[in-house]
Amino acid sequence: MIIQSSFTPAWWLRNRHAQTIWPNLFRRHPALPLIRERLELPDGDFIDLDWTAKNHNPIVLLLHGLEGNAESHYIKGLLNHLVQINFQAVTMHFRGCSGEVNRLPRAYHSGDTEDLAFVVKQLTTRFPDRPIYGIGFSLGGNVLLKWLGETIQANPLRAAVAVSVPFDLANAAQQLNQGSSRLYQAYLVRKLQRSLRLRLNNVTLPVDSTKALSCKTIREYDDCVTAPLHGFVSADDYYRKSSSRQFLSTIEIPSLIIHAQDDPFMTADAIPTAAELADKVTLELSARGGHVGFIEGYFPFKARYWLEQRISQFLIEQTTA
* Residues designated catalytic: 138, 263, 291
> Do 132 and 160 form a contact (C-beta atoms < 8 A)?
no
DSSP 247-300: GGGG--S-EEEEEETT-TTS-GGGSPPGGGS-TTEEEEEES--TTTT-EE-SST
- Cα 251 from Cα 278, distance rounded (Å): 6
Beta strands 88-92; 132-137: pairing state: unpaired
- Phi, psi of 212, rounded to the nearest 5 degrees: -60, -40
* Eight-state DSSP code of residue 246: G
Separation between Cα atoms, residue 279 and residue 251, nearest integer Å:
8
Q: What is the largest CA-CA distance in the chain?
A: 54
Which among 136, 120, 134 is positioned nearest to 65, based on CA atoms?
A: 136
Inter-axis angle of helices 114-126 and 139-151, nearest 10: 70
Amino acid occupying residue 97 = C
Q: How far apart are CA 65 and CA 183, in angstroms?
A: 17
Residue 42 burial by Cβ neighbours in a 10 Å radius (0-12, 13-18, 19+):
exposed
Beta strands 281-286 and 295-296 are: unpaired
> How far apart are alpha carbons 58 and 197 in whole angstroms?
39
